[in-house]
Amino acid sequence: MIHYLEHRRTWIIETDQAAYGLGLTETGQLIHLYFGESLPYHTDYPEPRDQHGWASFNSRADRNPEEYTGWGGVRYSEPCLKVEFHDHVRDLVLVYKEYVIQDGALVITLRDAHYPLEIRLNYKPFAELNLIQRTAEIVNTGEHPVDLEQVLSGELHLPAENHYRLSYLSGKWAGETQLRQIEMPDAKFILESRGGTTSHQTNPWFAMDPDGCSTEDYGKVFFGALAYSGNWKMVFEKRFGKIKASAGVHDFDFRWRLNAGETFAAPAFTIGYSAEGFGGASRQLHQYQLEYVLPRQTVRQDRKVLYNSWEATRFDVNEQDQIRLAELAATLGVELFVMDDGWFGRRNDDHAGLGDWTVNPEKFPNGLRPLIERVEELGMEFGIWVEPEMVNPDSDLYRRHPDWVYHFPNRVNSEMRNQLVLNLAREDVKQYLIGCLDRLLTENRIRFVKWDMNRLFSEPGYLDAPYEQQREIWVRHVRSLYDIVETLRKNHPDVHFQSCSGGGGRVDLGILELFDQVWVSDNTDAYDRLFIQEGYSYAYCAKTMESWVTAEQHWMNNRRLPLRFRFHVAMTGVLGIGENLHAWSEKEREEARGYVEAYKKVRSGIQNGRQYRLQSPKNNPVSSVMYVSEQQDTAVVFAFLYGNRNGDELRPLRLKGLDETKYYVLEGTEQRRSGKAWMSVGIELELKGDLDSCMLVLRADPSPNQ
Ligand code: GLA
């Protein structure tokens, strides 16, 4: 619900448990008033009052917690908007124009006091999720162009506290989404990506808890996530004892020519409040993805158990070998067979072929049809790997169009993995990719596309474009990517898409609007993966988290892990298998078949249920995560023990999220107890030794008490 209190010039946006207040001060500045638990009466919320500057260095404008800071006048904090008008004036003076409440959202329009430029701030609450999705549109209502130098989506002011703890996700290739927590310093702290894509290093998500004392289940957590897959930044700034968090498209090397009548739409910045700790905050974001973000056509479908050929065959793919793998995969109960890299152009290793999206005739003399038909005969669907934004210099495409990559004259084109980035800001490149991919999906019954991106940008030049548009490439690339996938999805509504960027380099709320699932990391060592997956779960839901079972001895760490442990780790999200199946004995295949079967029985609860982190792998001998179905009638619990000494007692695992009064039976046992008992007494784990694991299933039992 959104309320406007005219006498106070205040808006209150209420969700089921939270409220966000903003209003106009005596001098007409739009400022933030409140964010937190909702209060009984509208008059409980603070009134909009101008702050006072208390020294010649501290202006009122600078101290007011503005909702959308335009750079100009006496302002020194991170601005949301910085522009240059056609006459070279670079000072912005934003004043309030009007508001409307439409389609359940509050839209407040600000305008420049002199120049024809408007900013539409949109606040869309998701009541039951206690989230607000914020966007900002910059509209040029005049006749002259305006150059945008920084456009953020919004800023969030946190209630005053002694201090805050900032939680964020940090990482690297093969070690993504590690949860980090620091005390917010009296300074600026920036999370960002400048490489052209979301990044392995940081992810556009954060959480803040007052005094650093909220836990998994209790306490206040403020959080936010940005829906954008290019250069982004989140800036946390403590000034005058208070914190503001701003988020949006990165201003680094950014400039956007906004012509007369045009609008620049900043990506959505979704903010939330949880009174139930970090677990509550994560579940709000998970539900948001399931109910509003993920592609609507496919979101209700359970994700299939897949096989991926990469670790088994690398670039060495051909019709017979893939068919043999598919035959083995089918015996395990796999439902989707995905052929990875190596099937196109002259792609025999990573030196050639990217850009030539036609089937390699030596490896597949009769095209993909015989393989796809065999895969379908075996009762599976067929999926394929592509990396459309890239080109190898050794490719027909590059030989034809060397100017289709980002580049500067008089400079080398830096290669990484022997490849260059295609200039998707060019319409002809975008149309070429739509053409190739559309043909591929039309000519072959492909039901799943793994879309990869294996390098960052460099030498981001596009000197053929008008000068004032040359720095638009960063944003145009992302928009083209979204457009291409949107077009393909429209033309091929049955095809699912997976986002991959050398593992988890491109996961964010923006990509999740178009992609059904994510390859979270190239690191498939199940032990390392526990940490990656734990961090991932803070921001993203299990239905998007694809995880594979691979070799017993992992090539990255040399660690040996039991098949059971590897399966259980992969079963906590979307189960996949990436091992060379010829290397498994019949006994191992038999065992694997059992896990796949068990997973299929409970996957709906895992993929669509509420996730509860019971124990973190960071500081417990046993880590554990569980999922409870929406109706609270089934629960699936996974527990992982790393190493135990004889005599070490494992404390009982206390469950969460069950209905206190319902009875639940622990599958495979006679144990039947109330939800409350499972949550307060817990389960005795029978885990032993090194790298042991289990999956436990509880089902509500409606029969009366005995
Ligand atoms: C990336 C992906 C891998 C695999 C290879 C293929 O590294 O993350 O899963 O698809 O590319 O070249």
User: Do 58 and 115 fall into the same domain?
Assistant: yes
The pLDDT assigned to 649 comes to 86
Over 70: is that where the pLDDT of 346 sits?
Answer: yes
Q: Ligand 1, residues 385, 455, 550: which to mutate, most atoms within 8 A of Cβ? A: 385
Q: pLDDT-derived band of residue 705, with 50, 70 and 90 as boundaries? A: low
**Residue 516 is assigned to a ligand binding site:** no
451 CA to centre of ligand 1 in angstroms: 10
Domain boundary among 293, 326, 348: 293
522 CA to centre of ligand 1 in angstroms: 7
430 CA to centre of ligand 1 in angstroms: 23
Over 70: is that where the pLDDT of 704 sits?
Answer: no
The string of pLDDT tens digits covering residues 502-545 is: 999 999 999 999 999 999 999 999 999 999 999 999 999 999 99
The pLDDT assigned to 365 comes to 98
The pLDDT assigned to 61 comes to 86
The string of pLDDT tens digits covering residues 416-475 is: 999 999 999 999 999 999 999 999 999 999 999 999 999 999 999 999 999 999 999 999
Closest residue CA from atom 1 of ligand 1:
502
User: Quick one: average pLDDT of 286-303?
Assistant: 98
User: Do 670 and 576 fall into the same domain?
Assistant: no
Output the average pLDDT for the chain.
Answer: 97
Q: Is residue 414 part of a domain?
A: no
- Kindly report the CATH number assigned to the domain that includes residue 42: 2.70.98.60
User: Do 260 and 359 fall into the same domain?
Assistant: no
Give dist(CA 347, CA 236) in Å, integer.
45
Active centre residues (catalytic): 452, 522
The string of pLDDT tens digits covering residues 651-661 is: 999 999 999 99
User: Do 624 and 539 fall into the same domain?
Assistant: no
The pLDDT assigned to 424 comes to 98
Of 462, 449, 376, 451, the residue nearest 422 (C-alpha) = 462
User: Quick one: average pLDDT of 91-98?
Assistant: 98
Closest residue CA from atom 8 of ligand 1:
502
Give dist(CA 438, CA 357) in Å, integer.
11
Give dist(CA 644, CA 688) in Å, integer.
7
**Residue 450 is assigned to a ligand binding site:** yes
Q: Is residue 134 part of a domain?
A: yes
> Hey, is 639 helix, strand or coil?
strand
User: Do 578 and 673 fall into the same domain?
Assistant: no
Q: Is residue 403 part of a domain?
A: no
Q: Is residue 49 part of a domain?
A: yes
Show the ligand 1 pocket: residues with CB < 6 angstroms: 310, 340-341, 385, 452, 454, 500, 502-503, 519, 522
Q: Which atom of ligand 1 is nearest to the CA of 450?
A: 10
Q: Is residue 685 part of a domain?
A: yes
Q: Is residue 489 part of a domain?
A: yes
User: Do 510 and 549 fall into the same domain?
Assistant: yes
Least confident of 457-466, 479-488, 550-559: 550-559
Structure tokens at 171: 């990482």
Give dist(CA 624, CA 613) in Å, integer.
6
User: Do 289 and 318 fall into the same domain?
Assistant: no
Domain boundary among 240, 265, 293: 293
Q: Is residue 376 part of a domain?
A: yes
Domain that holds residue 577: 306-388+424-455+476-608
**Residue 522 is assigned to a ligand binding site:** yes
Q: pLDDT-derived band of residue 336, with 50, 70 and 90 as boundaries? A: very high
The string of pLDDT tens digits covering residues 617-645 is: 998 999 999 999 999 999 999 999 998 88
Domain boundary among 591, 608, 625: 608
The pLDDT assigned to 36 comes to 98
User: Do 254 and 350 fall into the same domain?
Assistant: no
CB 115 within 8 A of CB 85: yes
- Kindly report the CATH number assigned to the domain that includes residue 529: 3.20.20.70
Q: pLDDT-derived band of residue 703, with 50, 70 and 90 as boundaries? A: confident
User: Do 189 and 127 fall into the same domain?
Assistant: yes
Closest residue CA from atom 9 of ligand 1:
522
Distances (CA, A) of 117 to 102, 244, 460, 501: 22, 25, 29, 38
- Kindly report the CATH number assigned to the domain that includes residue 642: 2.60.40.1180
Provide the 10 A C-beta neighbour count for residue 224.
Answer: 24
Q: Is residue 564 part of a domain?
A: yes
Which residues neighbour 12 within 8 Å (Cβ) at sequence distance 6 or greater? 2, 3, 5, 19, 20, 21, 34, 42, 45
User: Do 494 and 572 fall into the same domain?
Assistant: yes
DSSP bridge partners of 202: 170
- % of the chain residues with pLDDT over 90: 96
Over 90: is that where the pLDDT of 52 sits?
Answer: no
Number of domains in the chain: 3
Q: pLDDT-derived band of residue 647, with 50, 70 and 90 as boundaries? A: confident
Torsion 572-169-618-310 (CA) sign: positive
User: Do 283 and 235 fall into the same domain?
Assistant: yes
Over 70: is that where the pLDDT of 91 sits?
Answer: yes
452 CA to centre of ligand 1 in angstroms: 7
Least confident of 49-63, 153-167, 381-395: 49-63
Provide the 10 A C-beta neighbour count for residue 706.
Answer: 6
- % of the chain residues with pLDDT over 70: 100
User: Do 140 and 275 fall into the same domain?
Assistant: yes
Closest residue CA from atom 3 of ligand 1:
502
Over 80: is that where the pLDDT of 54 sits?
Answer: no
The pLDDT assigned to 706 comes to 54
